[in-house]
Structure 1
Amino acid sequence: MIWRRARMVLLSAQGVAFDNIATVTFTSPDRVRDVVHNFDGDGFDAVYPEYRGRRPKTFTLLERGESKKIAKSKPAGHSLPLSTWSLVKPAGFLVDAR
């Protein structure tokens, strides 16, 4: 959380030891050390996390729309010798088309 990392940096600037900061912020001294060293190197950008706990998007909105169109269409319309899509076939077709 942003407020927790900011608090770690503030307490460190006030001269509080890493062990005491870790106790107050409910984390490990190694984590406090990492946050403070990242702040020293990157400034305020280090307080804001890059990872939000989600998987990064692998398809753009345009690609998702195109994949929906393909999934709703008939495989024969794409010159494939299939009567219906299975769960695996559209994925293989889209990867090959990429």
Structure 2
Amino acid sequence: ISEQSRDWICVIARCDPRFLGRPFSCWSLSKLRVYLIDSGRVAAISIETVRRNLHERGVTWQASKTCKASSDPHFASKMRRILDLYDYPPAGGRVVCVDEFGPLNLQPRPGRAWKPRGRPARLRATYHRDHGVRHMIASLDLTTEKIHFRIR
């Protein structure tokens, strides 16, 4: 397999398959292999060769992360003002960051525990919000580096 083919394997693996006309959102090694052969990038290749090539070139399988972009046309100038406050706080003043989080959904979360083999701890899939939901408001004082919060 040529160096150019190795490069193409990595380039294609990092692409969203939908942009290449495929009906799925991420590549499996077998789907990537089929695409490489069907597109003529390689004549034949094994799944293990695809995996090894990606590994050798630092392309790893990772969970995707979500992000949100601001639609505010003045976002950049507002962000600059905030960052300037961090870098140049007012003399004798305080810079306090405030944020709100909620409602907090008080539901059981699965975890880990030491249990006999084949007998995991069980959490009911359904639950009742006996105590309702909670809201938290918090602030970070950049001078003292203390977090203040209240949960209601």
Shared fold (TM-score greater than 0.5)? Answer: no
Give the TM-score, by structure 2 length.
Answer: 0.26
> Normalised by the size of structure 1, how large is the TM-score?
0.39
Indicate the structure with greater strand content: 2
